[in-house]
Amino acid sequence: MIPLYRSANPAPVLWNVVKTLVVVAVFNAVVVWAIPTLVVSYQRESGDFDALFFPQQVVPGTIVLVLASLMVLSAAMMLAIKGGGTPLSFDAPRRLVIRGPYGWLRAPMVTGTLMQGVGIGVMTGSIVVIVIFFVIALCWNTLVRPHEENQLQHLFGREFEAYRRNVRCWLPLRWAWTPPDDAPPISLDDTADPARQRRRKGRR
Protein backbone atom coordinates (compact mmCIF):
# COMPACT_ATOMS: atom_id res chain seq x y z
CA MET A 1 0.00 0.00 0.00
CA ILE A 2 1.39 3.44 -0.97
CA PRO A 3 1.58 5.84 2.01
CA LEU A 4 -0.66 8.88 1.79
CA TYR A 5 2.35 11.16 2.15
CA ARG A 6 5.89 10.14 1.24
CA SER A 7 8.93 12.10 0.15
CA ALA A 8 10.18 11.44 -3.37
CA ASN A 9 13.24 9.30 -3.98
CA PRO A 10 16.36 11.21 -5.07
CA ALA A 11 16.17 11.88 -8.81
CA PRO A 12 17.59 14.24 -11.45
CA VAL A 13 15.80 17.57 -11.76
CA LEU A 14 14.82 16.79 -15.35
CA TRP A 15 13.03 13.60 -14.28
CA ASN A 16 11.10 15.46 -11.59
CA VAL A 17 10.13 18.13 -14.14
CA VAL A 18 8.90 15.50 -16.60
CA LYS A 19 6.85 13.72 -13.95
CA THR A 20 5.42 17.01 -12.75
CA LEU A 21 4.42 18.09 -16.25
CA VAL A 22 2.63 14.76 -16.75
CA VAL A 23 0.81 15.15 -13.42
CA VAL A 24 -0.27 18.71 -14.24
CA ALA A 25 -1.36 17.73 -17.76
CA VAL A 26 -3.45 14.76 -16.59
CA PHE A 27 -4.98 16.71 -13.71
CA ASN A 28 -5.94 19.60 -15.96
CA ALA A 29 -7.30 17.30 -18.64
CA VAL A 30 -9.58 15.53 -16.16
CA VAL A 31 -10.47 18.11 -13.49
CA VAL A 32 -10.15 21.41 -15.33
CA TRP A 33 -11.42 20.35 -18.76
CA ALA A 34 -13.35 17.05 -18.78
CA ILE A 35 -15.45 17.50 -15.62
CA PRO A 36 -16.62 21.08 -16.38
CA THR A 37 -17.32 20.11 -19.99
CA LEU A 38 -19.51 17.20 -18.89
CA VAL A 39 -21.28 19.32 -16.27
CA VAL A 40 -22.07 22.15 -18.69
CA SER A 41 -23.15 19.69 -21.38
CA TYR A 42 -25.52 17.96 -18.96
CA GLN A 43 -26.88 21.30 -17.75
CA ARG A 44 -27.70 22.40 -21.28
CA GLU A 45 -29.13 19.10 -22.46
CA SER A 46 -31.32 18.40 -19.43
CA GLY A 47 -32.85 21.87 -19.25
CA ASP A 48 -33.36 21.38 -15.51
CA PHE A 49 -30.63 23.81 -14.49
CA ASP A 50 -31.34 26.80 -16.72
CA ALA A 51 -31.70 29.00 -13.63
CA LEU A 52 -28.09 28.17 -12.74
CA PHE A 53 -26.71 29.77 -15.88
CA PHE A 54 -25.75 33.42 -16.24
CA PRO A 55 -24.54 35.36 -19.32
CA GLN A 56 -21.21 34.04 -20.53
CA GLN A 57 -18.20 36.32 -20.11
CA VAL A 58 -15.64 34.68 -22.38
CA VAL A 59 -12.86 37.28 -22.28
CA PRO A 60 -12.76 37.84 -18.47
CA GLY A 61 -13.14 34.09 -17.88
CA THR A 62 -10.28 33.32 -20.27
CA ILE A 63 -8.02 35.85 -18.55
CA VAL A 64 -8.73 34.32 -15.13
CA LEU A 65 -8.20 30.80 -16.50
CA VAL A 66 -4.86 31.65 -18.15
CA LEU A 67 -3.49 33.48 -15.10
CA ALA A 68 -4.61 30.70 -12.76
CA SER A 69 -3.08 28.05 -15.03
CA LEU A 70 0.23 29.91 -15.04
CA MET A 71 0.19 30.02 -11.25
CA VAL A 72 -0.49 26.28 -11.04
CA LEU A 73 2.29 25.48 -13.50
CA SER A 74 4.75 27.82 -11.78
CA ALA A 75 4.03 26.31 -8.37
CA ALA A 76 4.36 22.78 -9.73
CA MET A 77 7.71 23.59 -11.33
CA MET A 78 8.95 24.98 -8.01
CA LEU A 79 8.14 21.66 -6.36
CA ALA A 80 10.10 19.82 -9.04
CA ILE A 81 13.11 22.12 -9.33
CA LYS A 82 13.53 23.51 -5.81
CA GLY A 83 11.80 20.77 -3.85
CA GLY A 84 13.10 17.68 -5.60
CA GLY A 85 9.67 16.06 -5.96
CA THR A 86 6.26 16.37 -7.58
CA PRO A 87 2.79 17.64 -6.58
CA LEU A 88 1.75 14.06 -5.75
CA SER A 89 1.55 13.47 -2.01
CA PHE A 90 3.24 10.06 -2.33
CA ASP A 91 6.07 11.58 -4.42
CA ALA A 92 6.34 14.79 -2.44
CA PRO A 93 9.21 17.32 -2.44
CA ARG A 94 12.26 16.42 -0.38
CA ARG A 95 12.90 20.06 0.54
CA LEU A 96 10.53 22.71 1.87
CA VAL A 97 9.55 25.08 -0.96
CA ILE A 98 8.93 28.71 -0.05
CA ARG A 99 9.97 30.28 -3.36
CA GLY A 100 7.87 31.45 -6.28
CA PRO A 101 4.10 31.36 -5.60
CA TYR A 102 4.77 29.62 -2.27
CA GLY A 103 6.26 32.85 -0.94
CA TRP A 104 2.82 34.49 -1.24
CA LEU A 105 0.52 31.68 -0.07
CA ARG A 106 0.87 28.11 1.16
CA ALA A 107 -1.49 26.44 -1.32
CA PRO A 108 -0.93 28.10 -4.70
CA MET A 109 -1.78 24.97 -6.66
CA VAL A 110 -5.12 24.49 -4.92
CA THR A 111 -5.90 28.21 -5.08
CA GLY A 112 -4.90 28.22 -8.74
CA THR A 113 -7.15 25.24 -9.46
CA LEU A 114 -10.04 26.96 -7.72
CA MET A 115 -9.50 30.05 -9.85
CA GLN A 116 -9.29 27.88 -12.97
CA GLY A 117 -12.75 26.59 -12.11
CA VAL A 118 -14.01 30.12 -11.57
CA GLY A 119 -12.58 31.13 -14.93
CA ILE A 120 -14.29 28.23 -16.70
CA GLY A 121 -17.52 28.97 -14.88
CA VAL A 122 -17.41 32.59 -16.02
CA MET A 123 -16.57 31.53 -19.59
CA THR A 124 -19.48 29.09 -19.77
CA GLY A 125 -21.88 30.99 -17.53
CA SER A 126 -22.27 27.99 -15.23
CA ILE A 127 -22.85 28.54 -11.53
CA VAL A 128 -22.71 24.77 -11.02
CA VAL A 129 -19.11 24.58 -12.27
CA ILE A 130 -18.02 27.35 -9.91
CA VAL A 131 -19.75 25.66 -6.95
CA ILE A 132 -18.13 22.30 -7.79
CA PHE A 133 -14.64 23.81 -7.63
CA PHE A 134 -15.39 25.54 -4.33
CA VAL A 135 -16.58 22.18 -2.96
CA ILE A 136 -13.36 20.53 -4.17
CA ALA A 137 -11.30 23.22 -2.44
CA LEU A 138 -13.33 22.84 0.76
CA CYS A 139 -12.84 19.05 0.75
CA TRP A 140 -9.10 19.47 0.26
CA ASN A 141 -8.92 22.04 3.06
CA THR A 142 -10.86 19.79 5.44
CA LEU A 143 -9.64 16.30 4.57
CA VAL A 144 -6.19 16.64 3.02
CA ARG A 145 -4.50 19.81 4.22
CA PRO A 146 -4.34 18.96 7.95
CA HIS A 147 -2.60 15.65 7.27
CA GLU A 148 -0.17 17.11 4.74
CA GLU A 149 0.77 20.02 6.98
CA ASN A 150 1.30 17.68 9.93
CA GLN A 151 3.65 15.65 7.74
CA LEU A 152 5.49 18.78 6.68
CA GLN A 153 5.77 19.77 10.33
CA HIS A 154 7.25 16.38 11.12
CA LEU A 155 9.72 16.54 8.23
CA PHE A 156 10.85 20.18 8.37
CA GLY A 157 10.16 21.16 11.99
CA ARG A 158 10.74 24.79 12.92
CA GLU A 159 11.40 25.75 9.30
CA PHE A 160 7.87 24.82 8.32
CA GLU A 161 6.45 26.20 11.54
CA ALA A 162 7.91 29.62 10.75
CA TYR A 163 6.53 29.38 7.24
CA ARG A 164 3.05 28.43 8.44
CA ARG A 165 3.01 31.22 10.99
CA ASN A 166 3.89 33.87 8.41
CA VAL A 167 2.23 32.78 5.15
CA ARG A 168 -1.52 32.34 4.80
CA CYS A 169 -3.00 29.30 3.11
CA TRP A 170 -5.54 30.95 0.82
CA LEU A 171 -5.11 34.72 0.74
CA PRO A 172 -1.82 35.91 -0.80
CA LEU A 173 0.45 38.29 1.05
CA ARG A 174 1.17 41.74 -0.30
CA TRP A 175 4.87 40.86 -0.50
CA ALA A 176 6.48 37.44 -0.80
CA TRP A 177 7.73 36.16 2.56
CA THR A 178 11.35 35.18 3.08
CA PRO A 179 12.67 33.85 6.38
CA PRO A 180 15.01 36.28 8.16
CA ASP A 181 18.59 35.13 8.62
CA ASP A 182 18.51 35.89 12.35
CA ALA A 183 15.09 34.36 13.06
CA PRO A 184 14.93 33.06 16.66
CA PRO A 185 14.08 29.41 17.27
CA ILE A 186 10.34 28.74 17.33
CA SER A 187 8.88 26.50 19.99
CA LEU A 188 6.07 24.26 18.79
CA ASP A 189 4.17 25.31 21.90
CA ASP A 190 4.01 28.83 20.45
CA THR A 191 2.19 27.78 17.31
CA ALA A 192 -1.27 29.19 16.63
CA ASP A 193 -2.39 25.98 14.93
CA PRO A 194 -5.92 25.28 16.29
CA ALA A 195 -5.61 21.50 16.04
CA ARG A 196 -2.46 21.46 18.14
CA GLN A 197 -4.02 23.82 20.68
CA ARG A 198 -7.03 21.51 21.01
CA ARG A 199 -4.73 18.52 21.56
CA ARG A 200 -2.85 20.40 24.30
CA LYS A 201 -6.11 21.33 26.04
CA GLY A 202 -7.29 17.74 25.84
CA ARG A 203 -4.22 16.55 27.73
CA ARG A 204 -4.77 18.99 30.62
Q: Please, are residues 119 and 68 in contact by the beta-carbon 8 Å criterion? A: yes
pLDDT digits (tens, 9 = 90+) for 113-125: 999 999 999 999 9
**If you average pLDDT over every residue of the chain, what do you get?**
87
Structural domain contains residue 44: yes
Residue 170 lies in domain = 13-203
Report CA 135 to chain centroid distance, whole Å: 14
Structural domain contains residue 4: no
pLDDT digits (tens, 9 = 90+) for 129-188: 999 999 999 999 999 999 999 999 999 999 999 999 999 999 999 999 988 765 554 444
- What pLDDT shows up at residue 3? 58
Helix (H) or strand (E) holding 59, with range, is: helix 58-81
- What pLDDT shows up at residue 187? 42
Structural domain contains residue 20: yes
Angstrom distance (rounded) from CA 125 to CA 2: 40
Angstrom distance (rounded) from CA 171 to CA 108: 10
Distances, alpha carbon 115 to alpha carbons 24, 61, 133, 148, 191, in Å:
15, 10, 8, 22, 30
Residue with more model confidence, 197 or 63: 63
Q: Please, are residues 173 and 167 in contact by the beta-carbon 8 Å criterion? A: yes
pLDDT digits (tens, 9 = 90+) for 33-59: 999 999 999 888 887 777 788 999 999
Residue with more model confidence, 29 or 196: 29
> The whole model's pTM is what?
0.83
Q: Please, are residues 116 and 70 in contact by the beta-carbon 8 Å criterion? A: no
Q: CB-based contacts of 169: which residues, under 8 Å, 6+ apart?
A: 105, 106, 107, 141, 145
Torsion angle of the four alpha carbons 104, 156, 165, 185, in this order, in degrees rounded to the nearest 10: -130
Structural domain contains residue 161: yes
Q: Which residue from 115, 29, 36, 31 is spatially nearest to 68, judged by alpha carbons? A: 115
Q: Report whether pLDDT(88) > 60.
A: yes
Structural domain contains residue 7: no
The number of folded domains in the chain is 1
105 DSSP 8-state letter: -
Structural domain contains residue 1: no
Range name among 87-91, 103-107, 192-196 with the lowest pLDDT average: 192-196
Structural domain contains residue 6: no
| CATH value at residue 29 | 1.20.120
Structural domain contains residue 140: yes
